[in-house]
Amino acid sequence: MPANFRASPLQTALLLALALPAVTHAQTAPTSNDTPNTQQNPNKPKTLGSVHVTGSVVGNDYDADTSTVGAKVPTSLRDIPQTVVVVNRDLMEAQGATSLQDALRNVPGITIGGAEGGQIGNNINLRGFTARTDIYLDGFRDPGQYYRDTFDLDAIEVLKGPSSMLFGRGSTGGVINQVTKEPELKAFGEVTASAGTSDRYRTTADFNQPLSDTAAVRVNVYGQDMHSTRDVLKNQDSGIAPSVRFGIGTPTEITLSALIQRNHDMPDYGLPPINGRPADVSFKNWYGLTDDRTNQSVNEFNARLEHTFSDNVSLRSQLQYSDYTTNARETAANSVVTAGGVTLNKTLGNPTDLPLQDLYVQLASHDRVIHDKVLDSQTDLVTKFDTGSLQHTLITGVELARETYNNQSYTRNGLPLLSLLDPVQESTPSNVTTTVGNYAQSVGKTAAVYANDTIRLNDQWMVVGGVRRDEFDAHISNTVSLPAYAQQTVYFTSVRGGVIYQPSEKQSYYVSYGTSFDPSLEQLTLTNGTQDLAPEKNRSYEIGGKWNLLDDTLSINSALYNLEQTNARSETSSGEYTLDGNIRVRGAELGATGHITKNWQIFSGYSYMDGRIVKAVDGTQGNVPANTPRNTFTTWTTYTFAEHWEAGGGPTYMSQRYAANTDLVSVGGYTRWDATLAYHQPSYDIRLNVTNLTDKHYFDALIQSDGGRSVPALGRTEMVTFTYKF
């Protein structure tokens, strides 16, 4: 248990509520002397297993018992000595979750950040640290700055805690892995059409067709035109994800897949702060121009070869090429100005005694064209062998990758002032001029070797140990900004270790340790003054337990952890940067997934994060890190009845957060309720989803820049989806 960890009565009650049933069951469960090694064959189809309850009316299950994210190959969750949360397809469909951001609301300890600093797309914090470059697609880094959809996903896996041993640079708070759908040896198809309030329309299709006894093809497509309860905002997106598998069930399997996606979205930079809080204006207010846009092009191609030499030796080699382009013309509230022309101090949260009707917003542009390319190859050899009575599953591998990042910025001059209370909706005025800004070009190269050994000592004890050696070489050049040129070569050794005790098939207890590193050029962008600094180092200690209850239909997990960035970058008063900072997050997590009864199931989680900037020279020492709420809680539960009906829903709670490390701008906590009602037939489903049932006014994403902007969440939204299956 982390030192000095103290839980409030609320947290203690939640811990006991979820832990006591597991402890009671553990005390009475018989001990098995023939617990099998649950490390899975890496050449089996990568579909996530789930427990199917006999007699379930609908047949959906939110529980998953394996994951690919914790050990490079599909592995039982009980054999992974870290917290893993799997949001599977059944859960996403029940909630009507169509975006990665929506699906991740099921994962406590995750918060949403907004677009800033040249970054667009999904900006996510995990256990208090940014995870923007820690998003993966089928095990490959997916760094493109785009808004990710769920149309082609079978599951989303979240591995918590530093994991550079498995994934290389980054992963301070953990990683997020998107698992795509794969072709299967049976013919099926599914078409959905959705319509909702605020002019929201969406359609998807999923077609699977066997080509032979050992080959199949699958195609997923989607298109949507989604408007919002916020003025002006809309998203018009489409995509296709084809895949084909050869040699299914044979020693040699080849999989080819692609993701082609086009987004035409309207950016939202939210509300500016007034007196350290989001401006008390209408949640429909939007401070931008009606011809703003974020156009994104995503092209990803993947090839995977898997060969089984024997029951004990297998090889997997895969290659992925990704090409992303983002063309953004985005306008945001840069500063707040009085009627007399005085600009408020945004670094202090715009303090003022003036009434809101006497305040105006000065717009500023955030225009850029970003182009990312990634070529990544990974080869893994899995060998199983014994040394005496010890059973080993050894994974050795090599990764080679090359990434490029180009960012051309533009500045629009002469943008208008808008009323804070009643902003007009207009396109870019004719007198506005555009100036070409900085052009940044970056290249990053990764070469790494790694090994991870899972050793089963006996029926009850396992040891997991891994090491990875990375060489990360990167350089950046700028035409206007400083530095004009910078180059870094970083060598780093990441480690991972864990001990697992499994007194029976129903129980698993573990302790683990892991490290990660964050080079200054980790995201292929650079703040001047940091180019000569060594990487930030991160480490985590975790202790936890995982239980299977109610005849293996309900899974419970809990964990305590201490996560620390031991040499955080910190800016001195002279504008220089040092590695004298220290940031730590101590926390606890609980989760419950599966069936409580045959017809009643649940997906629930709670996270407690005690985040603190322990040491800093920039004046933030003692503060809470940005976007790190003390408590988050989420529950989704459904009940099937009358043979064909399903009803359910649940709350999402998040406590107060700060927009930046200065702790000068904050947003209050909130509880949002969602609900669903569905009617199921063998060939079709009809589902109603109501998001934000009580029309709660709360803030979703936080943006650190310009004093800290806060993006209002969607108001109450209803969506009806018709699904035809064949």
Whole-angstrom Cα distance, residue 698 to residue 652?
Answer: 12
Q: What is the pLDDT of residue 605?
A: 97
Measured in Å, how far apart are the chain's first and last C-alpha atoms?
52
User: What would the mean pLDDT of 258-274 be, rounded to a whole number?
Assistant: 95
Q: Which residues pair with 234 in a beta bridge?
A: 227
Confidence check: pLDDT of 717 > 90 = yes
Q: What is the pLDDT of residue 121?
A: 74
Q: Which residues pair with 306 in a beta bridge?
A: 253, 316
Q: Please, are residues 481 and 440 in contact by the beta-carbon 8 Å criterion? A: yes
- In this prediction, residue 132 has a pLDDT band, given cuts at 50, 70 and 90, of confident
User: What would the mean pLDDT of 702-723 be, rounded to a whole number?
Assistant: 92
Percent of the chain whose predicted confidence (pLDDT) is above 90: 85
Distance of alpha carbon 70 from the chain centroid: 15
Q: What is the pLDDT of residue 573?
A: 81
Q: Which of 383, 412, 416, 417 has its CA nearest to residue 397?
A: 383
Q: What is the pLDDT of residue 50?
A: 36
Q: What is the pLDDT of residues 154-182, one digit of tens each?
A: 999 999 999 999 999 999 999 999 999 99
Q: What is the pLDDT of residues 222-237, one digit of tens each?
A: 999 999 888 788 999 9
Q: What is the pLDDT of residue 49?
A: 38
Helix (H, G, I), strand (E, B) or coil at 19: helix
Q: Which of 179, 224, 180 has its CA nearest to residue 201?
A: 224
Confidence check: pLDDT of 584 > 50 = yes
- DSSP state, 692? S
User: What would the mean pLDDT of 90-95 be, rounded to a whole number?
Assistant: 97
Whole-angstrom Cα distance, residue 75 to residue 41?
Answer: 9
- In this prediction, residue 46 has a pLDDT band, given cuts at 50, 70 and 90, of very low
H-only helix segments in 104-174: 164-167
- DSSP state, 523? T
Whole-angstrom Cα distance, residue 99 to residue 263?
Answer: 12
- CA distances 371 to 146, 376, 439, Å, are 11, 17, 11
Whole-angstrom Cα distance, residue 391 to residue 251?
Answer: 23
Kindly report the pTM of this predicted structure.
0.90
Residue 479's contacts (CB-CB under 8 Å, 6 or more residues apart) are 438, 439, 440
Taken in order of first residue, the domains within the chain and their CATH numbers are 9-725 (2.40.170.20)
- In this prediction, residue 119 has a pLDDT band, given cuts at 50, 70 and 90, of low
Whole-angstrom Cα distance, residue 500 to residue 435?
Answer: 59
Q: Please, are residues 368 and 427 in contact by the beta-carbon 8 Å criterion? A: no
Q: Which of 510, 637, 644, 556 has its CA nearest to residue 80?
A: 510
- In this prediction, residue 8 has a pLDDT band, given cuts at 50, 70 and 90, of very low
Specify the pairing of strand 174-180 against strand 135-137: parallel
- CA distances 284 to 290, 415, 424, 670, 714, Å, are 14, 21, 12, 18, 10
Q: Which of 661, 681, 670 has its CA nearest to residue 712?
A: 670
Q: What is the pLDDT of residue 706?
A: 82
Q: What is the pLDDT of residue 113?
A: 77
Q: What is the pLDDT of residues 470-522, one digit of tens each?
A: 999 999 999 999 999 999 999 999 999 999 999 999 999 999 999 999 999 99
- The mean of the pLDDT values for the chain is 91
- DSSP state, 268? -
Q: What is the pLDDT of residue 292?
A: 95
- Which of 115-119, 183-187, 437-441, 677-681 has the weakest average pLDDT? 115-119
User: What would the mean pLDDT of 604-623 be, rounded to a whole number?
Assistant: 96
For tokens 């769920």, the residue is 150
Confidence check: pLDDT of 13 > 80 = no
Whole-angstrom Cα distance, residue 341 to residue 69?
Answer: 54
Q: What is the pLDDT of residues 350-391, one digit of tens each?
A: 999 999 999 999 999 999 999 999 999 999 999 999 999 999
> Does an H or E element contain 535, and which?
none
User: What would the mean pLDDT of 421-429 be, rounded to a whole number?
Assistant: 94
**Length of the chain measured in residues:** 726
Q: Which of 518, 523, 526, 439 has its CA nearest to residue 487?
A: 526
Q: What is the pLDDT of residue 59?
A: 55
Confidence check: pLDDT of 191 > 50 = yes
Residue 331's contacts (CB-CB under 8 Å, 6 or more residues apart) are 267, 269, 287, 288, 289, 292, 363, 364, 365, 366, 412, 415
- In this prediction, residue 45 has a pLDDT band, given cuts at 50, 70 and 90, of very low
Residue 177's contacts (CB-CB under 8 Å, 6 or more residues apart) are 68, 69, 136, 137, 138, 139, 156, 157, 158, 159
Helix (H, G, I), strand (E, B) or coil at 392: strand
Q: What is the pLDDT of residues 406-418, one digit of tens each?
A: 999 999 999 999 9
Amino acid at 82: Q
The 8 Å CB, 24+ separation contacts for 305-309 are: 305/252, 305/253, 305/254, 306/42, 306/43, 306/252, 306/253, 306/254, 306/255, 307/43, 307/251, 307/252, 307/253, 308/41, 308/43, 308/251, 308/252, 309/251
Q: What is the pLDDT of residues 449-473, one digit of tens each?
A: 999 999 999 999 999 999 999 999 9
Q: Which of 202, 203, 94 has its CA nearest to residue 680?
A: 94
Whole-angstrom Cα distance, residue 194 to residue 475?
Answer: 46
Q: What is the pLDDT of residues 296-324, one digit of tens each?
A: 999 999 999 999 999 999 999 999 999 99
Confidence check: pLDDT of 27 > 60 = no
Show the tokens assigned to 216.
Answer: 């199949």
